[in-house]
A and B are shown apart, each in its own frame.
Chain A
Amino acid sequence: MALDFQQLRQQIKQLSAFALTREKQLQKTRELAVELLSAYSSDLEGLKTKIQRITLQKNHLLRCARPVNEELSSRFATPPLPDFATILAADGSQISPDRHLEIQYGLVNVGAFQTLFGKSCTPTLYTQSQLLFGELISGLNEGALALQRDLSERRFLVELAQKAQPPVISFTDGPMELWVGRETTTTESAQNQSAVQEYQTVLSNLCQLEVVTAGYIDKPSSNLVVRLLEIGMASEQDMTNIVEYHPLHGVTDRDLFTFLLAPGERSAIFALQSNSTALYQGELALHFFYVNVGVKEKTSIARVEIPAWVADHPEMISNLHAVLIQQCRLLGSRHYPYALHRAHEVAMVSYQDKEQVTQMILNEFFQHQIKTDALSEKQALKILSGRTRINKF
């Protein structure tokens, strides 16, 4: 038995007691946050000024929502669906280089799903698999590989959007803001900078193609709007150390919008204020809104990240909102965009796939009599089959 369930049982009881107390405390804070959302709803200029003051003090750690031109507590019902749209979704997965294996390689697999809304046809699936070896995997860590995967997803979207019939609405899973991690070496720093530049080019291409592009975040845990409310309620003294000022700690934006949004409704559009704001300027500036893709019986809040060229275009927002709701209705009680789920299915590299790729490479090496490294002793022991009995007693 791997776990000591007796030990865990006691700890689970403690966890349950803790959760109960925390929930009682949080409920009061949530109520306060909802009140504040209503109180600051129309004070867009006041909030913008406060954010500007903080950023002018070179406080790059500030990460929050910045009001644009819609009141904070605005709600917009699901608009009518467009007559026609090409819906594109891309997702990626990867095989990380494993030093315990006989050969060193990595793989990035991007899957895309394309369907025509308003036209009866079988959707099309696309896959792009790239094997990484040699210099490409030298010093490649999990973060860098994930970055390559994210970039590949977006590049693939541009490629497909160029050939697609407009208007095109595209989705990727997760934030649009590229996560470049914390670089520890100058090489990593250069790699990250290059990745961001390429990402900016990709976004510019999507903008030129007038593609409605969005990053979909299911069950978001962010507190961007909550943080905005904290800034709103901060006194002059609190403003001096705003990084440490968290009177609404524990409340998430999902809590706020679960209370506010009815099924199918979206929130106001906010701009994303973060340390990466400088990287996404003009048409590429990142924005987001919350949407309740659930139904009356089950609220389901998602955050949708969009670039400025979409946020500034009411028709694009309207089409994106309507199509998102339609996509999330397709999977019955699971409110998640069908196109994204299918892209995920196409992109996913299973353990069996990995085994097969490894075997294919080993076969190729064997044919050309290329020596391979041995499997590590640790890995060899891990893949041993379980204990078996010779006699049946």
Chain B
Amino acid sequence: MTEIEVGRLLRANVYEFVAGCRVSQIDTPSFGALVRVPQANDLHIYGLIYNIHIDDDGLVRQLVTTELLDENTIADNRNNRNHPLEMSVLCVGYRQALQVFHMLPPRPPLALEKIILCDENEVCQFSSSGKFGYFRHILRSNSFAYEELLAAHLMQASAVHQNRGNLGWIQQAAQELIILLRDDYPALMNVLNSLKEIYNIHNLTV
């Protein structure tokens, strides 16, 4: 199967990394998507996109004030100027020798490594491996709204599992989250509110 490259790595540590991509690649990555960074020795680092940001500069700020912005000027600024679209990715596990671990990778990926968008098989394999151990990486974070990231990830992953006839995956994921957040009522309510939308989409009941 053809791999979809969504960008290249700019900077990283074992907890998270930032990837840059061209604006022409913007259609592929999405918030909450599972991505993979292939490394040497059959090591693959998995991460969830938790933010996508677009920076500006003086010229862009100047251009937004003009009334006569034409298509060519927009295309020039999007495609030619040195403004990578940046994706922040949370490390949630890795795969080595075909075995998936929901632990932080042994070392961060290196600069300019390819970032690959995981296909349905990989999403299925990663999310059904073990017992949702990767949720703890998401819940630990305090630098972004993790309930939104959870909701986006669960929505994408549950759709994949549903396509494969695994209707119980989302229910198991919800139960695991309830256990993990049992001592943090406000956080649990935030997550459950997000989950409600997914349940509505899939016509599920708690």
Would you call B70 an interface residue if the criterion is a C-beta within 8 Å of the partner chain's C-beta atoms?
yes
Given A122-B80, A329-B68: A334 touches B62 (CB 8 Å cut-off):
yes
Q: With A122-B79, A123-B80, A341-B59 as given contacts, are A330 and B71 in contact (CB-CB < 8 Å)?
A: no
- Is B65 part of the binding interface, using a Cβ–Cβ cutoff of 8 Å? yes
How far in angstroms is the closest Cβ of chain B from A126? 11
Q: Does B69 contact A (CB under 8 A)?
A: yes
A329 lies within 8 A of B75 (CB)? no
Q: Are A122 and B59 in contact (CB under 8 A)?
A: no
Chain B CB within 8 A of A121 CB:
yes
Complex contact B65–A122 (CB within 8 A): no
In the complex, whether B162 has a CB less than 8 A from a CB of chain A is: no
Partner of B63, one of A116, A121, A332: A332
Taking the complex as formed, is A338 at the interface, i.e. its CB lies under 8 A from any CB of chain B?
yes
Q: From residue B57, how far is it (CB to closest CB) to chain A in Å?
A: 10
Residue-wise interface mask of A (330-372) relative to B, using a CB-CB cutoff of 8 A (1 in contact, 0 not): 1111100010011001000000000000000000000000000
Write the nearest CB–CB distance from B139 to chain A, whole angstroms: 37
Given A116, A333, A338, A345, which contacts B73 in the complex, CB threshold below 8 Å?
A338
Is A120 an interface residue, CB under 8 A from the partner?
yes
Instruction: Give min CB distance, B34 to chain A, whole Å.
Output: 31
Instruction: State A123–B65 Cα separation when bound (angstroms).
Output: 21
Among the listed A120, A332, A345, which residue makes an inter-chain contact with B71, where contact means beta carbons less than 8 Å apart?
A: A120
A331 to B72 alpha-carbon distance, docked (Å): 13
**Chain A 303-336 interface mask (CB, 8 Å, partner B; 1/0):** 0000000000000000000000010011111100
Bitwise, A106-134 to B at CB < 8 A (1) or not (0) is 00000000011000111101000000000
CB contact list, B56-103 vs A, under 8 A: 59, 62-73, 75-76, 79-81
A-B contact count (CB 8 A): 44
Expressed in whole angstroms, the Cα–Cα distance for A372 and B57 within the complex equals: 39
Chain B residue nearest in CB terms to A116 = B72
What chain A residues lie within 8 Å of B64 (beta carbons)? Answer: 332
Among the listed A121, A330, A334, which residue makes an inter-chain contact with B75, where contact means beta carbons less than 8 Å apart?
A: A121
Residue of A116, A332, A334, A341 contacting most chain B CB atoms (<10 Å): A332
Interface size on B, residues (CB 8 A): 18
A345 to B70, CA, bound (A): 19
**Residue-wise interface mask of A (63-90) relative to B, using a CB-CB cutoff of 8 A (1 in contact, 0 not):** 0000000000000000000000000000
Take A338-B73, A341-B59 as given contacts and tell me if A330 and B79 are in contact as well, using a CB distance cutoff of 8 Å. Answer: no
Bound-state Cα–Cα, A13 to B62, Å: 34
CA distance A341 to B71 in the complex (A): 17
Query: How many angstroms from the CA of A378 to the CA of B79 in the assembled complex?
Result: 43
Rounded to whole Å, the gap between the CB of B23 and the closest CB of chain A is 11
B66 near A329 (CB under 8 angstroms)?
Answer: yes
Q: Is B62 within 8 A of A122, CB to CB?
A: no
B59 to A333, Cβ gap below 8 A? no
Which residues from chain A contact B62 at a C-beta distance below 8 Å?
331-334
In the complex, residue of chain A having the shortest beta-carbon distance to the beta carbon of B75: A122
Establish whether residues B66 and A332, one from each chain, have CB atoms under 8 Å apart when the complex forms.
yes
- Tell me the bound Cα distance from A332 to B76 in angstroms: 16
Distance A360 CA – B66 CA, assembled complex (angstroms): 41
Q: Which of B70, B80, B81 contacts A330 (CB 8 A)?
A: B70
**A330 and B73 form a contact (CB under 8 A):** yes
If A341-B59, A345-B59 touch, whether A115 touches B72 (CB-CB below 8 Å) is yes
Task: Enumerate 10 A-B pairs (CB-CB under 8 Å) in ascending A order.
Answer: A116-B72, A120-B72, A330-B66, A330-B68, A330-B69, A330-B73, A332-B64, A332-B67, A333-B62, A341-B59
Beyond the given A326-B68, A331-B62, A332-B64, could you list 12 further A-B residue pairs with CB under 8 A, ordered by the A residue number? Answer: A121-B72, A121-B75, A123-B80, A125-B80, A329-B66, A330-B70, A330-B73, A331-B63, A332-B67, A333-B62, A333-B65, A345-B59
B residues near A (Cβ < 8 Å) are 59, 62-73, 75-76, 79-81
